[in-house]
Amino acid sequence: MRKLAAGNWKMNGTEADLGEIDALLAAHPTPRCEMLICPPATLVARMAGRAAQGLMVGGQDCHPKTSGAHTGDVSAAMLADAGASHVILGHSERRADHGETDSLVRLKAEAAWGAGLVAIVCVGETEAQRDAGQTLDVIGAQLAGSVPDAATAANTVIAYEPVWAIGTGRTPTTAEIAEVHAFLRARLAERFSDAQGFRLLYGGSVKPSNAAEIFAVPNVDGALVGGASLKAADFGGIVEALSAA
């Protein structure tokens, strides 16, 4: 199981920003971990066209249907056709801004597999839910509802992103991260024979300065990185920390 450093550019990036990909590949041509960048849909094909062997490209969402009258949506097959190998699903911003439910995320994961994509399924609690002591209940429900029974270590990655830590500069303690990742591993083991092979990513204000500490936590197999993935130097620092973990 190779560890995975995944970058989520969110709604950022134009053609001019693809120079960061060139710089990333120049600095890390053969990383010891896998590198993945998920840019806006407008850049997937262009990024895939200039990505070298050391970098994979993914989408940030897909529609559960393969085609049809769904204005503004992108199917998994379209992402694959553009050169994507992965797709992020159920990110907290999609759940909050677009009302995505666990059942919808499950359908999207199945659509991703149908197109040959690896699904990165996101789970995570809000600050209010953590303060109320509901973290594991919330994450357990999201995991059960969002991950289909046909999931395998080869077609699915799980990303834990505490909603209150995304883009805020706040980071859970290593003990808090360890608790959730151990819980995720145990829940996966209840359902899947290859549970130990599933990669569990941590996401939420990951940056070069805290990456090594986070990657030392048991059951953390990489990161889903937001803002720090936009600059080659920042993301490269995280790649270096993961490679050394």
3 has a pLDDT exceeding 80: yes
Question: Each residue of 162-206: pLDDT tens digit?
Answer: 999 887 778 799 999 999 999 999 999 999 999 999 999 999 999
58 close to 5: Cβ distance less than 8 angstroms: no
Minimal CA–CA distance to 201: which of 164, 160, 167, 171?
Answer: 160
Q: Tell me, yes or no, if 213 is annotated catalytic.
A: no
* pLDDT at position 148: 98
The pLDDT of 208-220, averaged and rounded, is 97
Distance between terminal CA atoms of the chain?
Answer: 13
* pLDDT at position 169: 79
Q: Tell me, yes or no, if 161 is annotated catalytic.
A: yes
52 has a pLDDT exceeding 80: no
* pTM across the whole model: 0.97
- Which residues, including other chains, have CB under 8 Å from residue 205's CB and lie 6 or more apart? 165, 166, 167, 168, 169, 170, 171, 226
Active-site residue identified among 91, 93, 181, 240: 91
**Averaged pLDDT of the chain:** 96
Active-site residue identified among 34, 100, 125, 161: 161
Question: Each residue of 118-157: pLDDT tens digit?
Answer: 999 999 999 999 999 999 999 999 999 999 999 999 999 9
